[in-house]
Structure 1
């Protein structure tokens, strides 16, 4: 018995069936537009048909889409229940064909260049003698074999940490991005990371022109050398690298120096060093010799000046000695005269003292009394005249030794 569906049930049943489908559809983009910076709408067409497509900005980040571009979209069909419209829900977009790939390449290159991912000032220098190298490559490729062969031939003792990845096809981009993430999270410290692949068509090199790989190179903790394709191939990975090599073999040549060249550089440097040392020693020896000659001249002049100064000193010393002798004689004469004057002065003082002593002794009342004179006192006063006395006055007579009292009997 035929099952009967409602319209909603039938649409839901179809969508459930469609969601199990994962298909890829190729066509030319038309009527491309972005709505509210959230949803992408465009048509995919060929000569005989058209397919409405829908995607979200979240699912298709920075889409490389424009009208007229031939692309391959991955996703599943869907019927919208309310409108009944049939559309294709897009999960992934890839340009198809040489022309589309070139146009997508130019669009992405301009956008990433504007963001500064290719700026020369952000590129890091590589060490001259690396020791530990992270290598992202396909181990089964000729590019890998050539790279390792040239690397070991040019320089030895390297530690190479290989992460084997697909370098084309659907798995290439996620594996290369995962390899960079693995190296960034590793406990090892790499001197640099090399990303290599042999030549191929633009389609073959699609992974190295993808935005994901370019941003992985830009975000690497370590300097990145990219050697992809042949000399004529220019991938976006090349522009993002810190150092761009034309081929995998050229990448090996740029990463490590040639040991023979280093040996020759060392020998040249050694000869230059020896020559420089010889020149330095000769120059210094000449300078020392000149200095010795100047020193001898200076010492001779100083010695002559010193001899002249010494002779002048002795001459002055003799003059000072003679002057000192004269001054000593003068001082001795002066002292002699001072002694004579002092003795004379002392004698004069003694003479004056003796004279004064005699005068004092002569004027001393005691001296007069000692010679037999006496002093008369009345009422305690010395009597100088007889007129000061009256008859019967009692007077005291002082002698040199002792005295006595007397009465005036008569005046003369």
Structure 2
């Protein structure tokens, strides 16, 4: 038995393989996992339903084939040399020419399912459930030994988030995994009241590795979950049908952990911001109400019935003063006349005339005093009547009887015609105010 080193065996295989295909070969297949390095070289997998082969497309050949830009899902005719890369022990095609054939079968099926479900409304934002802000219990369908769940748990611990994480194990690759994942989703939906969130999770991989998440029945089951769902499948560049039907799609399992942690990481900052906002709002409301209160107070002071009574009392007092002044002037005038008459009497000294004048003077004085008293009594009587009338019409006294005064924008309402539906009203009672809106009105029939 011959003994080979790894290098010797790989070299021998290389020699046999490359000598079996001495010239260029043409291979038809579908492009998968297409990527471009920083140096401009391209790497991709050429596959069909049963097999796949690695391909390298160097920059110089890309430039020669610049009329066509390869992309995942394209069905192409590749021309090149079969080559074994000893370092990795892999055989691959050194591509020198790529010709577009058609859209690959894999992408055809993907697009067909995508269009079908999209037409049925399974991707609509309106049907997506809201992801809870506060998450306490999470169910994750994934491989329990995969790197994805480890990354997720590591990130949760790093963020210091205390939540319950239940792993519902399921294979996440190969067609045999589809019914198991579907069964786990259905079983999980028996615990709607227990779990806040359901995450379907898998790490990165090729299009073939992620193919189960493009299955129509799996996607429909995931869509019908009563528990809010997050799709955390592959890497940021990877998209599956499950991503579109999920309530939320995140780029990676780590991103899913960050989303779950989001509320807890920002809660203190948000509480502080809400506190500041609340204080600011309260200050604004207080300032506004104080200004409005000052305006109402000025309005009330100006239109107050008590202020009007005081004003009228001032007018009456002014009239009274004027009347007294007028009467005093009359008295002074008559006194002057009397003194003038006495002077004349003293000059002429007629006894009879003096007596007559004395009697007349006394009577005249009585008349004057009587007139003055009557006039003053009349004025006082009018003043009392005016005060009584003011008291009777004083709105504050009317309010004591159970009546109310209705204001609109500070002015009293005297007619239903002055009101409209949804007008804001302020109703004054004897011990305060109430506010309301006009919801209807009815005219009184005469």
User: Under a length normalisation based on structure 1, what TM-score does the superposition of the two structures give?
Assistant: 0.49
User: Under a length normalisation based on structure 2, what TM-score does the superposition of the two structures give?
Assistant: 0.45
